């Protein structure tokens, strides 16, 4: 079946550091989204990015549909960035990257 793989599974950063999260998917891209699940469980939309590059403040994302991957960049990380980051393609979610940012 369709698979969505995320890496790394866990990431620990000090405040101010930059990071790159990766999402590989086995099928063609359709409705690729990145979400942040905060400690209270709410899934927050970050990017809807079936192709190309988008930026929103300290976050940006790039999807290369021909190579079936997407990247999420977090710059100058803050403690409020902590949580789990999910990507989803064709309604299939990856297992997430758990990010912890320490002051």
Partner 1 sequence: EAGVVQSPRYKIIEKKQPVAFWCNPISGHNTLYWYLQNLGQGPELLIRYENEEAVDDSQLPKDRFSAERLKGVDSTLKIQPAELGDSAVYLCASSFSSGEQYFGPGTRLTVT
Q: Which range binds partner 1 by CB under 8 A, 19-27, 60-68, 69-77, 87-95?
A: 87-95
Contact characters 13-42, partner 1, x per CB under 8 A: ------------------x-x-x----xxx
The phi, psi pair for 9, rounded to 5°, reads -70, -35
Does position 43 interact with partner 1 (CB under 8 A)? The reply is yes
Report the alpha-carbon distance of residue 2 to residue 14 in Å, rounded.
Answer: 35
Report the alpha-carbon distance of residue 13 to residue 9 in Å, rounded.
Answer: 13
The phi, psi pair for 40, rounded to 5°, reads -95, 5
Does position 48 interact with partner 1 (CB under 8 A)? The reply is yes
Residues that bind partner 1 (CB under 8 A): 4, 31, 33, 35, 40-43, 45, 48, 86, 88, 91-96
């Amino acid at each position: 079946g369709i698979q969505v793989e995320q890496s790394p599974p866990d990431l620990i950063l000090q405040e101010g550091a930059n990071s790159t999260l990766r999402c590989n998917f086995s099928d063609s891209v359709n409705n690729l989204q990145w979400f942040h699940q905060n400690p209270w469980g709410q899934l927050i939309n970050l990017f809807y990015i079936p192709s190309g590059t988008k930026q929103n403040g300290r976050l940006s994302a790039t999807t290369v549909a021909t190579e079936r991957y997407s990247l999420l960049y977090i710059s100058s990380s803050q403690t409020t960035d902590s949580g789990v980051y999910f990507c989803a393609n064709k309604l299939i979610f990856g297992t997430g990257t758990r990010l912890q940012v320490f002051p």
